[in-house]
Amino acid sequence: MPGMAIARFPGIVIDCPDPRALAEFYGAMLDWKVDVSDDWADVRADHGQCISFQQVEGYAPPSWPTQELPQQMHLDVVVDDLDVAEAAVLDLGATRHPHQPGTTFRVFLDPAGHPFCLCVN
């Protein structure tokens, strides 16, 4: 039937070397609940949105902005103040990427090396 979704509630799963560490990073940044099992972790909002982290052997972080190892995906999160949010994510363990191609967003690497952006409207 046209207009009917085939599926609902898409999940994002991010490969990483340490699911607990990455879930704790994003859980603290987003103020979401962290749930950890052996090789998997979830961060979940009160309204149900979820990001999952899966342990993989031989993980190699993306080499953004080059394409030697493509970023494959990244998260954009909206913040009220770039400077305040930058200080907070750096305290959590993020790294500011040296390549900053815009003025309304800033690019960081999470503790596993995935790029993510802090964005203002």
Average pLDDT, rounded, for the chain: 91
Q: Would you say residue 88 has pLDDT above 90? A: yes
Amino acid in the structure at residue 9: F
Q: What is the pTM of this model?
A: 0.80
What average pLDDT does the segment 43-55 reach? Answer: 93
Q: How far is CA 116 from CA 46, 48, 51, 74, in A?
A: 22, 21, 14, 5
On whether the 12-119 domain is CATH 3.10.180.10, my answer is yes
According to the model, what pLDDT value does residue 9 have?
A: 67
Distance CA 116, CA 121 (A): 16
What average pLDDT does the segment 43-66 reach? Answer: 92
What average pLDDT does the segment 12-40 reach? Answer: 95
Domain boundaries, the chain: 12-119
